[in-house]
Structure 1
Amino acid sequence: MAVYTVYSSPVYQHYTASVCSKATIFLLCCIILTFIPPLILAWYSQGFWIRESTFREQPDVRFKHDIIMVLQGDTPDSQLIWSTYRNLNLLMESKLRVPLVQTSETDSNRDGLYDYLDFTIEVPMTGTDSVYQLQLLFTFDYRLYKYPTFTMESMAYIHYSSAVAGAEFYTVGDLRFHQKYPLPSSGIYSVNNKPVVNSSSIYTSSWKLSSIFSEYSTRNETTNYISHSPVWVSGKAPEQAFNISGRIYYPEETIIFRPGFWQLIKWGWVQYLSVLLIFLFIFNKVKRFVFLNQLINVIPKKYHAE
């Protein structure tokens, strides 16, 4: 007569021992060797804690309509200077030349953030004026929102020199974010939200570009203008204005930041768990072999699952 299974239930094998026994000591050693070595291996194999991480964000950049312009002629004293800062214009009154300036910012993809700045500067010239070198400084309000709320006043420095007197200059480039150390992961960060130029200064030394750059370079976060295609056109006719034009893009940036507590824990747990699973499997096999074969004195008891 054929036999078939009509019902089945699992049977659990329990092994008991006193608190002060070899079995207890063995089990304690297994627990320690299961959970502690994975932590050590994960720690010393690098990458357990994330020291820094990155995110990408398009900055919210706004031109502050502040400009410093320096045009250099064929002699050290033949300079033409203009700015939007009243004190500098007063100090350099003998070299002052007021240009016609036009600027516009454009949001090309309509996401609420400006993508680039177009500018044109038309400098009136006399018959004896010539331009061999130009220096321009623009200031911006620069903001990030994704992790820390980051705000600073930054600048773009545009410069070019030629052995031939110019009639026109054109440039296209990017306003790139630069940082020496990672940003915090959250909160409001506005350490560098201070003027690039001390507009209230009445001392000539404070208005030198070298002084401005020296102070600006001490910041952890700065912006730099990276030019891609400067064009210098020579052959200026007498009395012809010197024209400067260009476009400054505000590209999406990769920002380095220090991860917060929960991000550290989340990443660290993944590193630890990946090693722990191996140790759990190995020591589960070890304990099964030791107890099933009675290598240590224990009292086996069987229980049917309910």
Structure 2
Amino acid sequence: MAFYEVYSHPALIRYRSSVCTKATLFAVVALCLTYIPPLLVAYRSQFWLKTSTYEEQPVVRFQYEAILIATTSAQGEYVAWSTFPHFNHLVGARLRIPALSQVREEDDNQDGKLDRLLLEMQLPLRVEEQLYSLQLLLTFSYQLFRMSTVAMQSLACVHYSSAVPGAQLFISGDLRLQQRAPLPHRGLYNIYNVSVIDSSSPFASAYEFDDIIRKYQQRNTTLLSTAMPVWKPGRAPTAPFMLRAEIHYSTETIYRPGFWETIKFAWIQYVSVLLVFLWVFQRIQTFVFEKQLLTTVPGEPAHHHKLH
């Protein structure tokens, strides 16, 4: 007649010893070697989560502020225009007011957040003038809400130069967040929610591109990345120079995690290594005490019974 196992349960055996014995010392050492090395291993393999990512499309609005400087000769002659009255006054006779045929922001997927800016302007030039390079600063309002609340004023800089005089420049790129330090995981972050260009200043130094960009680069910024310029020569003597820009508002993906997210990540790293050490040292101790390699007093097996 064949027999089959219908039920099983473990038997607990307790091994006892006094405090000052080799068995006690071994148990303490085994305990330390079980729990401390996993902590060191996990710590050496990025234990603390310093940065994390999530996807969020920012709320971006064009501020309808711009500064344009265009070089019209190899000797450095230029024409300029801006939306700032003080700058236009400083430019004097070099002021050229462009015709803005299109300034439009679009929400392509109808999710309530704008996806891109379409800008088209025609810069009038004299018959004897040719355009060789162009620099354009555009200002934006930039906001994030999902983790921390971020509100700041930002820039997009369009720049292109050529040895061949041009008739048209088309440029398409993404407005991307560039972080000097990861964003906090919560709270209000509005330290840079101030105008990037001091439009109230009557001094020329407030509108110098190198000064504006130098100060701007010392903080969290936006920049026009993956810009693809298309420069077309062959302008007719009486035709204006055409500038077309398409700026996409891209999704961003980085911030500094909070305390509980950091602990959750660290705990997973630690436990995953600890399980291996628990399995190894449990078998080592079972072998040592069961074979009485260190003298202890084993008790009677204690059986686990089901409670009714």
Same topology, TM > 0.5:
yes
Q: 1:290: Cα distance to partner?
A: 2.7
In structure 2, how many angstroms separate the alpha carbons of the residues matched to 1:47 and 1:3? Answer: 53
In structure 2, how many angstroms separate the alpha carbons of the residues matched to 1:4 and 1:167? Answer: 92
In structure 1, how many angstroms separate the alpha carbons of the residues matched to 2:283 and 2:241? Answer: 84
In structure 2, how many angstroms separate the alpha carbons of the residues matched to 1:6 and 1:135? Answer: 84
Does 2:289 align with 1:291? yes
SS at match of 1:55: coil
Cross-structure match for 1:150: 150
In the TM superposition, what are the counterparts of 1:170-249 in structure 2 within 5 Å?
170-219=170-219, 221-226=220-225, 228-249=227-248
SS at match of 2:300: strand
Q: Please report the RMSD computed on the Cα atoms of aligned residues, expressed in angstroms.
A: 2.6
In structure 1, how many angstroms separate the alpha carbons of the residues matched to 2:7 and 2:89? Answer: 102
Q: 1:5: Cα distance to partner?
A: 8.9
Q: 1:140: Cα distance to partner?
A: 0.7
Q: Look up the equivalent residue of 2:150 and give its one-letter code.
A: F
Cross-structure match for 2:69: 70
In structure 2, how many angstroms separate the alpha carbons of the residues matched to 1:274 and 1:6? Answer: 34
Any gaps of 5 or more consecutive residues in structure 2? Answer: none
1:71-100 Cα shifts (integer Å, max 9, x gaps): 221264642211111111122232212222
Cross-structure match for 2:109: 109
Verify the 8 A CA contact 1:171 1:227 in the aligned structure 2.
Answer: no
In structure 1, how many angstroms separate the alpha carbons of the residues matched to 2:181 and 2:90? Answer: 37
Verify the 8 A CA contact 1:169 1:230 in the aligned structure 2.
Answer: yes
Cross-structure match for 2:39: 39
Cross-structure match for 1:51: 50
Q: Look up the equivalent residue of 2:183 and give its one-letter code.
A: L
Question: Residues 100 and 7 (structure 1 numbering): CA distance in 2 closer, same or farther, change over 3 Å?
Answer: closer
In structure 2, how many angstroms separate the alpha carbons of the residues matched to 1:214 and 1:185? Answer: 28
Question: Residues 192 and 48 (structure 1 numbering): CA distance in 2 closer, same or farther, change over 3 Å?
Answer: same
Cross-structure match for 2:99: 100
1:86-136 Cα shifts (integer Å, max 9, x gaps): 111122232212222230000101111111110111223333333222211
In structure 2, how many angstroms separate the alpha carbons of the residues matched to 1:250 and 1:96? Answer: 31
In structure 2, how many angstroms separate the alpha carbons of the residues matched to 1:181 and 1:30? Answer: 43
In structure 1, how many angstroms separate the alpha carbons of the residues matched to 2:253 and 2:6? Answer: 66
Question: Residues 78 and 301 (structure 1 numbering): CA distance in 2 closer, same or farther, change over 3 Å?
Answer: same
Question: Residues 134 and 5 (structure 1 numbering): CA distance in 2 closer, same or farther, change over 3 Å?
Answer: closer
In structure 2, how many angstroms separate the alpha carbons of the residues matched to 1:2 and 1:175? Answer: 77
Cross-structure match for 2:140: 140
Q: Look up the equivalent residue of 1:79 and give its one-letter code.
A: Y
Q: Which moved more, 1:6-15 or 1:122-131?
A: 6-15
In structure 2, how many angstroms separate the alpha carbons of the residues matched to 1:106 and 1:2? Answer: 79
Question: Residues 294 and 230 (structure 1 numbering): CA distance in 2 closer, same or farther, change over 3 Å?
Answer: closer
Question: Residues 13 and 121 (structure 1 numbering): CA distance in 2 closer, same or farther, change over 3 Å?
Answer: same
1:281 corresponds to which of 269, 279, 282: 279
SS at match of 2:13: strand
Q: Which moved more, 1:107-116 or 1:185-194?
A: 185-194
Cross-structure match for 2:164: 164
SS at match of 1:164: strand
Identity of aligned residues (%): 42
Cross-structure match for 1:131: 131
Q: Which moved more, 1:240-249 or 1:162-171?
A: 162-171
Verify the 8 A CA contact 1:15 1:301 in the aligned structure 2.
Answer: no
1:211-267 Cα shifts (integer Å, max 9, x gaps): 111211221x11222354322233333332222112111122332x32221122111
Any gaps of 5 or more consecutive residues in structure 1? Answer: none
Question: Residues 247 and 4 (structure 1 numbering): CA distance in 2 closer, same or farther, change over 3 Å?
Answer: closer
Verify the 8 A CA contact 1:291 1:298 in the aligned structure 2.
Answer: no
Q: Look up the equivalent residue of 2:253 and give its one-letter code.
A: T
Q: Look up the equivalent residue of 2:281 and give its one-letter code.
A: F
1:29-51 Cα shifts (integer Å, max 9, x gaps): 3222221222122223x211122
Q: 1:298: Cα distance to partner?
A: 1.0
2:260 corresponds to which of 256, 259, 262: 262
